[in-house]
Structure 1
Amino acid sequence: MLICDDIRRRDQPPNAVPHIPGSLVVMIMRGNHAVILFDHIVDLLNLFGRVNHMVTENVSQRAVVAVVYVAAMFMSVLDTTIVTVALPAIAHDFEVSVAQVGAVQVAYLVALTVFIPVSGWIGDRIGGKRALLGAIGLFTLGSALCGIATSLPELVVFSAIQGVGGAVMLPVGLAMLFRVYPPSERVQLSATLALVTAIGPALGPVLGGLFTTYGSWRWVFFVNVPIGLLALFWGLVRLKPHTQPSPGRLDMAGFLLAATGFGALMTGVSEGSSVGWDHPLVLALIVAGAILLVLLVIVERRVDRPLIELRLFRNHLFTSATCLYGLASVAYIGGLYVVSTFLQEALGASALEAGTTSVASAVGVIIGGQLVSRVLYHRLGPRRLTTTGLILIGAGLALMAIAGTGTSLWWMRGDLLLLGLGVGAVFIPSQAISMATISSTDTGKASPIFNAGKQLGSAVGVALLASVLTLTTAPNVNSGNDGGALFPFHLAFLVAAAVALASTPVALRIRDSEASATMTRSKDTAEAG
């Protein structure tokens, strides 16, 4: 009470939280036993307002945006692998097949791809703060609802709600980040983002295995709730409004074509690995999606304010970075999917051992991220770095193709470490240069395209390598014929390695001169280094 009384006697700054006199509360509620408790609560609120004002003054908006975005990004990337481990347990609880439970992931991916194109318009229309926090709230709500779902249809619907939130929060958050961070500081920023991108998928199997083994599959969804609530609280208290010029009316024709086109294509790609690529429905979805996307291009070229700014693809650096990140995601995320299955079904590792082994890739990204952001990027430039990174990714995946049933897990950990080093050398420069030549006004429309490339690359990687495993797997992996049992996994690793190596021409097209703004060390970065 003494601290609060001292605060009452001081002059309040103009923008401080309005003070509620405790004496006034006492006068109004005199004679009520709750008055003392209520007076203390009011004093605490006043103290919180004062402290909040003082702290906010010392917190950079760049740090605030970064914290909120990293929390949102972590929830999103964690979801890419943590749910997969829980699918058998979910199927058992709901008394359905594992194949049917796959609809949960399909619903999430489809919702993601449907709403990513419109995310930039939403952010510019209602403001970055409201769009980002609203999307985080929707994702968190969807996660909580998934955790209490009582049937498979409910879980599918709630997973789609998650996807809608995820579709908006990442592009909007990334656009806000690149508006507050100058190009000279984006390499260090991208190193942090790449770290989260690597830790999330690697940590997913570990947490998923722990939750399903010692708790309940529902915790793979509940784990997002405290993270989301903390991000929401931090954003509501610290984040300032981020506004851009009005984007005008929504391009409804573009939205409908993008939603149906990307939705059909993603559904076809997701289902193709499980029901077969020659299935009539899969073929129909892929063909329909392709036709709708062609129509989308035709329509968007004739609209004054298109939903998807196709002219951005004329930006050589942006197009190269988007394609490079997407192609690297095919190899990396697809490779991690195969590693998890390979370790458990071929090498006999437990779910926990498989998860902890996969963490080696995240360690590689951590080490690679520090080397790239602090030493190599400013000396070598993005062109040579990304080319070298793709070669390292290809080498790490190819080395896994020679692992046998008697191979030590430490061999796999070494390969995954090499894979992580390569990922850091590709993801960090690609992220840093992606918006280097994009204006602040166009950042809101460029960010969804870049994020769509990442999401599509991850989905295609898993679908592609899952198809390789499905088409080449013998009836029984543990049949005793080690060569036949391991062949599907070895082939999948080689296919992923081939994708990485085949992507090197894209990296070689990068012109370091165009990315020169990102190669100049800022004063703060130089002092830190």
Structure 2
Amino acid sequence: MRLYQNPKLVVCIVYVMAMFMVSMDGTIVNVVLPHISREFHVAPSATSGINVGYLVSLAVFLPISGWLGDRFGTKKIFLLALGVFTLASLLCGFATSLENLTLFRALQGAGGGLLTPVGMAILFRTFTQEERPKVSRTLILPIAFAPAIGPIVGGFFAEQLSWSWAFYINIPFGIVALLIGLLFLKEHKEPAAGRLDLAGFLLSALGLSMLMYALSTGPSKGWDSPVIVYTGIIGFILVCLFVWLELRVKEPMLNLRLLSDRLFRSLGLISLLSQAALMGMLFVFPLMYQNAMNASALESGLATFPEALGLMIASRMIPWTSKRLNGQQIICLGLLGTALIFTMISIVGPTANPWFLRALLFGVGVCLGHAVIAVQSSIFTNVTSSSMGRATTLFNVQNRVGSAVGVAILASVLGALGTSEKSTEGMVQIDLASYQFALLGSAVFLVIGLIISLSLKKKDFKSLLPNQKTRDIPKTETITANK
């Protein structure tokens, strides 16, 4: 069947390729930072700006993405963002100085900030509520699978080729997705998109970028650093003013009124906490494995890879699981199982039998994969098509904040509890027990999410099985952009 005859297939192909590229970028770059510092002859700490610039730029453009898609067309904005991200990846690979690389990463962050929520809006407008559970099984691959293989790919490039290939890898994905999207994607505009909430945009751009900066650099600079303290406080105040404003203006840029729906609010918090736990674990475990086993970046990436395999298995298992459990039970059991496994990994440590650790990480993928799929297939149940762009934007803002908070808190735990000893190579070594304690922090995020999930009810969830009748589930009021 030709692509123009199957618009749903087109959306899936373009979305998965774009999200795979963006999601893998979040972890592949971390592995090559030491190689970048050596090539540019700068201290390893100086390379933090590469990620900080990306996160700050992403925080600026992420909240406005929903309005831009509604106002100018989701196809146009999505392809523009995809083109910017792909071009910036090429420029990053060609960078000849740390300053140029940091600038190009900021450009990449602008594309990434627009890409994810607009792409998700296209996806969920294309598929009906009954079809979304099946689609969510596809979503798990780029969103959760890609970050797990990022360290493997990055480690391989760093050891066999060069750090530039960590950016060049995005180019073929971006070009193919651009061509397919340009030829076959259909445009969608919202007639009631309204005018730009300029005051909201300025407050969110300044507030979220300052908060992202404080969260991402606080662990390395120290939370008592005047720059971090003042930036964090001012950013927090601006975000509070932004929330106050968005709840009062008629046409808000970020529609916080969507949080009035209990299901959207609860599942959004669960997703935020799950992201904090997963990204925190993917940050701590490779470091712990390298510290205890003297393993390379590639070896530590291979150690975490079974988690990605578990996610793939979960995406195949969800139809079978959904016949036996409702959505709330799947989320609760998934979060509980993942929290227990994180605790077990923390107790046994990285010196345990490698195959036992791989089995535990595989279990993380299976358990957390079930919870993530159930959340994504149900969170937009009560959201109308006209509100979808703003809803996906809010959902992605929450997830980005969750990822930053998870890494920042666990990195701070390592810094607070670790012992600053220097190895013969001059590298700072952190006490192994600190890594194990930090992993418990990931479990705490999941326990909080579990408590929230217990407040949900069976009737809140439509069937997670495609094409299954839902006549026994009462109709719920949909939430709109102007509610």
TM range (shorter): over 0.9
Tell me the distance in 2 between the aligned counterparts of 1:478 and 1:436.
54
Q: Alpha-carbon deviation of 1:350?
A: 2.4
In structure 2, the residue matched to 1:17 is none
With over 3 angstroms needed to count, the CA separation of the structure-2 counterparts of 1:238 and 1:345, relative to structure 1, is same
Tell me the distance in 1 between the aligned counterparts of 2:119 and 2:349.
43
With over 3 angstroms needed to count, the CA separation of the structure-2 counterparts of 1:261 and 1:378, relative to structure 1, is farther
Of residues 353, 357, 377, the one that matches 2:299 is 353
1:129 counterpart letter in structure 2: K
5+ residue gaps, structure 2, are 470-483
Preserved contact between residue 478 and residue 485 of structure 1 (Cα < 8 Å):
no
Matched, 1:161 2:129: no
Report the TM-score, using the length of structure 1 for normalisation: 0.85
With over 3 angstroms needed to count, the CA separation of the structure-2 counterparts of 1:522 and 1:148, relative to structure 1, is same
Larger radius of gyration: 1
Tell me the distance in 2 between the aligned counterparts of 1:265 and 1:404.
33
In structure 2, the residue matched to 1:55 is 2
Of residues 253, 262, 279, the one that matches 1:333 is 279
Matched, 1:393 2:393: no
Report the TM-score, using the length of structure 2 for normalisation: 0.93
Q: Alpha-carbon deviation of 1:523?
A: 7.0
Q: Alpha-carbon deviation of 1:158?
A: 0.5
With over 3 angstroms needed to count, the CA separation of the structure-2 counterparts of 1:81 and 1:110, relative to structure 1, is same
Q: Alpha-carbon deviation of 1:515?
A: 2.3
Tell me the distance in 2 between the aligned counterparts of 1:520 and 1:219.
40
Q: What is the percent sequence identity of the aligned residues?
A: 38
Preserved contact between residue 374 and residue 464 of structure 2 (Cα < 8 Å):
no
Matched, 1:250 2:202: no
Q: Alpha-carbon deviation of 1:281?
A: 1.2
Of residues 399, 413, 429, the one that matches 1:454 is 399
In structure 1, the residue matched to 2:321 is 376
Tell me the distance in 1 between the aligned counterparts of 2:17 and 2:314.
22
Q: Alpha-carbon deviation of 1:129?
A: 0.7
1:105 counterpart letter in structure 2: N
Preserved contact between residue 393 and residue 423 of structure 1 (Cα < 8 Å):
yes
5+ residue gaps, structure 1, are 1-53, 525-529
In structure 2, the residue matched to 1:474 is 419
Matched, 1:230 2:176: yes
In structure 1, the residue matched to 2:166 is 220
Q: Alpha-carbon deviation of 1:476?
A: 3.1
In structure 1, the residue matched to 2:260 is 314
Greater RCO, 1 or 2 (C-alpha within 8 Å, sep 6+): 2
With over 3 angstroms needed to count, the CA separation of the structure-2 counterparts of 1:292 and 1:402, relative to structure 1, is same
* CA deviation vs aligned residue, 1:291-325 (integer Å, no higher than 9, x gap): 11111122222211111112111011111111111
Of residues 243, 251, 266, the one that matches 1:297 is 243
Of residues 380, 403, 415, the one that matches 1:435 is 380
Preserved contact between residue 113 and residue 263 of structure 1 (Cα < 8 Å):
yes
Of residues 426, 430, 434, the one that matches 1:488 is 434
Q: Alpha-carbon deviation of 1:203?
A: 0.9
In structure 1, the residue matched to 2:124 is 178
Tell me the distance in 1 between the aligned counterparts of 2:44 and 2:430.
25
2:329 counterpart letter in structure 1: R
Tell me the distance in 1 between the aligned counterparts of 2:361 and 2:3.
41
Matched, 1:198 2:144: yes
Preserved contact between residue 421 and residue 430 of structure 2 (Cα < 8 Å):
no
* CA deviation vs aligned residue, 1:417-464 (integer Å, no higher than 9, x gap): 111112112110111111110010011111111011111111111111
Q: Alpha-carbon deviation of 1:347?
A: 2.0
Q: RMSD of the TM alignment (CA)?
A: 1.8
Q: Alpha-carbon deviation of 1:55?
A: 2.2
In structure 2, the residue matched to 1:409 is 354
Equivalent residue pairs, number: 465
Q: Secondary structure at the match of 2:382?
A: coil
* CA deviation vs aligned residue, 1:72-100 (integer Å, no higher than 9, x gap): 11111101110000001111111111111
Preserved contact between residue 256 and residue 394 of structure 2 (Cα < 8 Å):
no
